Amino acid sequence: MAEYDLLIRNGDVIDGTGNARQRADVAVKDGRIVRVAPNIEGDADRVIDATGRIVTPGFVDVHTHYDGQATWDAHLKPSSNLGTTTVVMGNCGVGFAPCRPEDHEVLVKLMEGVEEIPGSAMNEGLPWTWETFPEYLNAIEAMAHDIDIAALFPHAPLRVYVMGERAVNREPATPEDVEKMQQLVREAVEAGAVGFSTSRTLVHRSSSGEFIPTYKAAVQELKDLGSALSGEKGNVFQMISDWEDGDDEFSIIREVSERSGAKGTFTLLDLANQPDLWHEQLKRIEESQAAGLDIRGQVLSRPVGMLMGHPASMSSFYHRPTFMSLLDLPWDERMEKLRDPEIKAKILSEENENPHVFVEIFNTRFRHMYPLEDPINYLPERSDSVASRAEREGRHPEEWLYDYFLENNGKNLVYIPAANFSEHIPELLTHPYTVSALGDGGAHVGSICDTSANVYVLTKWVKEKQAIALEQAIHMLCRQPAELYSLNDRGLIAEGYKADINVIDFDELKLHTRHIEKDLPAGGSRFLQRADGIEFTIKAGEIICDHGEMTGALPGQLVRGSQAAPAA
């Protein structure tokens, strides 16, 4: 019998601490790293020669929305094929538990609108074998997955479960409602929820266009619910907000942390229409940290970028009556109809009916739209915008866009960097009290594919711009997010830690442009993305991805609550 299950030889080990790399071997047994040292003797069932490669911990992604996908799909792509070995789902206050049978459609519409997952896919894919949140966790645990999953307890389904139609109508919670919700938060934490999440932004709406049940819920309600969390259990309170009153909104997170000892985290973006907001937020975070409260901002490593076009779930024309009348036609026939000058003129004269909020906001912002090219440029030059290209040709940008969408047999797309289109991203990422996150894996499947944002830290800010040291970046992608959620048994290459490991050819590391696959339930399509250079992703000692191909191994588990660091 071999001494080790896996032996990775001769790699440049970047251990996740932020310390300098070292040439070493890594030995794995029973899902754990058992030795890190130069020239380990002994045999193994599998040996990987990592000469010329970097060996890192698996990435930890704390902001995903696999709440539905994890109930029907063993492979959590596009995270597990891009080096991620642990995800946290249930963010932004949306999810599927607790839920009574009569409210299934309410939560499907919420997730369809907020996180843009096709309702048809959820209606076919969700097994609904649970009602309570503990039962939901049991259902996730009973299904094999390729990577580990931790879950936050989401506010919207909790509110609907306790308040029914009053929650959908966004009525104030009574003291009795709050007491019942607090009881369910405690129950969820006992069952293994890693915290609680909520949303307070107007861009989160149900598929019918209505505001979600948590939008502008009373500040006191949230403070009371957050007080049911446990700092001793390492719980986290997660929030997204429009920050209309920054001090009042931040007081929610701060008071929750003061009362419960829980950590706090929120979406931190550099917004063009609020250029001072990120400075103000960092100041509030620093003041809280100085007071002994662990509150951190979540930062995306690139612009929050949407894709629009005929293959995507939305475009500038997708809900115009004449365009919609052609949707049942086969693709080639539909494209031919759209080229007809009379149909084109008719569509250009119409308006979208009940469009998604993203289309409402960006439909005519042609200076914020950029034709998508391969490889994708997430920080394009403003002179490459749709408006600029149309001006150079002496055309109206909407007509230019219409014709552009029809090129390449209708497969052309535009990229719209909606937030974080900023030179400040490295500063935000490297702040001591922020965490690299916001990839939204499992969500916005037809318009956003930012799950590769962790790889982008390495390709853009380390390799191309040299704005962040490689060792620091690996610490940011692995150990920092693990520590935020008290998952202290991972994120490091060290003896006793989980054998969650990436072997990367850093010189060849490169992201491909996103592509469409029809692999959702009910034939739904989504954007996925691949990368070159991630040669092996290892989860609990098993290779789950080999040079971009999933091996079929399913060693992932549900993570219930905080995880202790290995004994010295």
- As a whole number of angstroms, the distance between CA 81 and CA 512 comes to 13
Residue at token pair 């989860």:
539
The verdict on pTM exceeding 0.75 is: yes
pLDDT number for residue 204:
64
Q: How far apart are CA 286 and CA 106, in angstroms?
A: 39
Q: Is 60-302+420-484 in CATH node 3.20.20.140?
A: yes
Task: Name the CATH superfamily housing domain 4-57+497-550.
Answer: Urease, subunit C, domain 1 (2.30.40.10)
Q: How far apart are CA 193 and CA 67, in angstroms?
A: 13
Apex 210 CA angle, 206 and 214, nearest 5: 75
Is residue 477 within 8 Å of residue 465, measured between CB atoms? no
Give pLDDT, residue 211. Answer: 73
Query: What CA–CA distance (Å, rounded) separates 76 from 550?
Result: 11
Residue 541 CB partners (closer than 8 Å, separation 6+):
5, 6, 28, 29, 30, 31, 32, 499, 555
Q: What are phi and psi of 303, to 5 degrees?
A: -60, 145
How far apart (Å, rounded) are the C-alpha atoms in residues 313 and 117? 10
Helix (H) or strand (E) holding 33: strand 32-37
Domain chopping of the chain, boundaries: 4-57+497-550, 60-302+420-484, 306-417
SS3 for 24? strand
pLDDT in tens, 316-343: 999 999 999 999 999 999 999 999 999 9
- In the block, tokens 């001494």 appear at 3
pLDDT by residue for the chain (568 residues), tens digit each?
A: 899 999 999 999 999 999 999 999 999 999 999 999 999 999 999 999 999 999 999 999 999 999 999 999 999 999 999 999 999 999 999 999 999 999 999 999 888 888 889 999 999 999 999 999 999 999 999 999 999 999 999 999 999 999 999 988 888 999 999 999 999 999 999 999 999 999 987 666 766 667 767 777 788 999 999 999 999 999 999 999 989 899 999 999 999 999 999 999 999 999 988 999 999 999 999 999 999 999 999 999 999 989 999 999 999 999 999 999 999 999 999 999 999 999 999 999 999 999 988 899 899 999 999 999 888 899 999 999 999 999 999 999 999 999 999 999 999 999 999 899 999 999 999 999 999 999 999 999 999 999 999 999 999 999 999 999 999 999 999 999 999 999 999 999 999 999 999 999 999 999 999 899 999 999 999 999 999 999 999 999 999 999 999 999 999 999 999 999 998 7
Beta strands 22-29; 54-57: pairing state:
unpaired
Strands 501-504 and 434-436: unpaired
Start-to-end C-alpha separation, the chain: 27
- CA 182/CA 185 separation, integer angstroms: 5
Q: What is the pLDDT of residue 253?
A: 97
For 32-59, the pLDDT digits (tens) are 999 999 999 999 999 999 999 999 999 9
Task: Say what the pLDDT of residue 202 is.
Answer: 67
Structure tokens at 247: 């001090």
Tokens coding 45: 């069932």
Tell how far CA 516 is from the center of its chain: 18
How far apart, in whole angstroms, are the C-alpha atoms of residue 382 and residue 370? Answer: 8
- Written as one string, the DSSP assignment of 427-496 is HHHTSTTEEE----BTSSTTT---TTHHHHIIIIIIIIS--S-HHHHHIIIIIHHHHHTTBTTSSS-STT
**Of residues 531, 514, 511, 298, the one with CA closest to residue 425:** 298
Q: What is the structure's pLDDT at 207?
A: 67
Domains 4-57+497-550 and 60-302+420-484 share a fold: no
Q: From CA 496, how far away is CA 370, in angstroms rounded? A: 47
pLDDT at site 111: 87
Q: How many residues does the chain have?
A: 568
Q: Is the peptide bond before 78 cis (omega within 30 degrees of 0)?
A: yes
pLDDT of residue 528: 96
**What does the buried/exposed string (b/e) look like for 115-134 if buried means 16 or more CB atoms within 10 Å of the residue's CB?**
bbbbbebbeebbeeebebbb
Please choose, from the candidates 89, 87, 94, the residue with its C-alpha nearest in 3D space to the C-alpha of residue 115: 94
Predicted local confidence at residue 357, as pLDDT: 84
Q: What is the C-alpha separation between 542 and 538, in angstroms, rounded?
A: 5
DSSP notation for 63-110: -B-TTTHHHH-SS-TTTGGGTEEEEEE-GGG--S-S--GGGHHHHHHH
Amino acid occupying residue 503: V
Q: Which residues are registered as beta bridge partners of 24? A: 11
